[in-house]
Amino acid sequence: MFSRQVDVTSMSATEIAASVRARELSASEVASAFLRRLESVNGRLNAVVVPLFASARAEAAAIDEMIAAGAPVGPLAGVPVTVKESFDVRGTPTTAGLTARKDHIAAADAVMVGRLRQAGAVLLGKTNVPPLLLSTETDNPLYGRTNNPWDLERAPGGSSGGEAAIIAARGSPLGLGSDLGGSVRIPAHACGIHALRPTSGRLSMIGHFDCLPGNEAILAQPGPLARSVADLSLAMSVLAGPDQSLRDPAVPPVPWNHPSGVDLSRLRIAFYTDNGVFRPSPAVRRAVQQAADALAETGVQVEEWHGPNLEEAWDICVRVLVADGMRGPRQALKGSKLDRHTRSLIGPATLPRGVLAAGALLSAALGQRHVSQGLRRLRRASARDFFQLVRRRNEFRDRFCAELDARRIEALLCPADALVAIPHGTSQYLGDTLSYTAVYSMLGMPAGVVSFSRVREDERSDRLRSFDLAERAAKQAEQGTAGLPVGVQVVACHWREDVALALMSALEHRYRDTSEYPRDPPL
């Protein structure tokens, strides 16, 4: 039985839905509680940038009327949700952080937004993003900067950074983000919540802004974010329900399996703490090892991963993403005000190939390994070159999956990011930290992030002094991180989101009552 002494905003989406259906709480009471919380924290976070407060109250009242009349209600009846700004919501702007799109008003809901509404969710508002959704920070000239609730001087991740920030601050119990290279996983890790990127193609992207139009070699996916792993499962049961293919023929009719059917004692998993591209911080490495040890104690078979070269996978991934010489993003940016980060991201792509090659050689000579490698990969591909890249991707995926199959490995544990939440304005040289998440987007595998720990006082940076700008930026980011959240990425085989969620749930249950669990940020 629900106790009214409990703060409603501390309840999970699963608990809220059950309480509303049982008439222990009204949907209007729940909406009012979250709107009060949202209004009290959003001024410091700038996470919700398109508020829908009046319509949220009306939607909640309609749910209450249905329940009073005995009408059937959906599994999310009365559950407040927030949605990433890049999803179409009827009658609201979908700008992707671009000033030139400020008057772009959606005529209809995105497919996934429609599913949430049909399930009875109450939409509180839309959340902030970086321009074109192409950054691990969340800041744009249209809506401004979003702050991390654990430290307002740090970023909440990107590109679903606004979503993660407001959920962590208890302004929303459940959110819908999207993930191309890590855009729900990195914010979840940075803000101390949980998130899931489904198998590529599992969910429809109709009604979502396309930041790389025409590139289907690496697919973005909608993904839920929440403070409870069970809420991710609840959201996925709604989002991945049957009949998606009636609206979107690109979505295969693969059934959704609930994680309760997974027997952990029969699982065999592997882990690694360093992918060879960018060395993680001590707290990140420790958390992965800690997760592996904890799962081994529950009966899961655990071994260290020594599979295919992940540096090769990252090289393929970057080359695929920039294969058009960033012409698609540059076209989308026309007429928009650009911030410093977007200029630094797009600018080098306009340089002739010879200049890029010379810049790569010079950077290497000056000890700028990460810059040099980035410039080598930044080249426009011909159609033939792109086909070869896709073939390289397919061959690597085949080797990767064959290695998993040969060793009977059903999931991997690894870092969600090389760093915890970074200071605002420091992502420019840290692109290689994306390798921990983007590689699995390229492979099309489902991957979630479970947050269960925080940086300890004695976990200080162990990076050596370096002239490399990326290493220097990382060392700077690692200063003053004690107490910040740390997540672990859980990757499963294709279409086995249930395995990833079962492992994530086991870790959440193991650590949620410990002092290190990232429960409430100090807002």
Considering the candidates 135, 159, 281, 372, report the single residue annotated as catalytic: 159
Q: In what order do the strands lie in the sheet with 174-179?
A: 48-51, 122-127, 80-84, 174-179, 221-226, 194-197, 447-454, 485-492, 411-415, 268-271, 301-304
The DSSP result for 155-179, as a single string, is ---SSSHHHHHHHHTTS-SEEEEEE
CB 77 within 8 A of CB 20: yes
Considering the candidates 183, 204, 441, 453, report the single residue annotated as catalytic: 183
CB 172 within 8 A of CB 34: yes
Which neighbouring-strand residues pair with 151? 148
Euclidean distance between CA atoms 291 and 487, whole angstroms: 10
Considering the candidates 84, 135, 441, 505, report the single residue annotated as catalytic: 84
> Angle, to 10 degrees, between the axis of helix 469-477 and the axis of helix 369-377?
120
CB 224 within 8 A of CB 239: yes
User: 3-state DSSP call for residue 447?
Assistant: strand
For the question of residue 159 being annotated catalytic, the response is yes
Which neighbouring-strand residues pair with 122? 80
Cβ-based burial of 364 (10 A; exposed 0-12, middle 13-18, buried ≥19): middle
For the question of residue 265 being annotated catalytic, the response is no
The DSSP result for 230-287, as a single string, is HHHHHHHHHHT-TTGGGT-TTS--PPP--GGG--GGG-EEEE-S--SSSPPPHHHHHH
Say which amino acid occupies 430.
L
Euclidean distance between CA atoms 297 and 280, whole angstroms: 25
For the question of residue 183 being annotated catalytic, the response is yes
Euclidean distance between CA atoms 221 and 112, whole angstroms: 11
Active site residues: 84, 159, 183
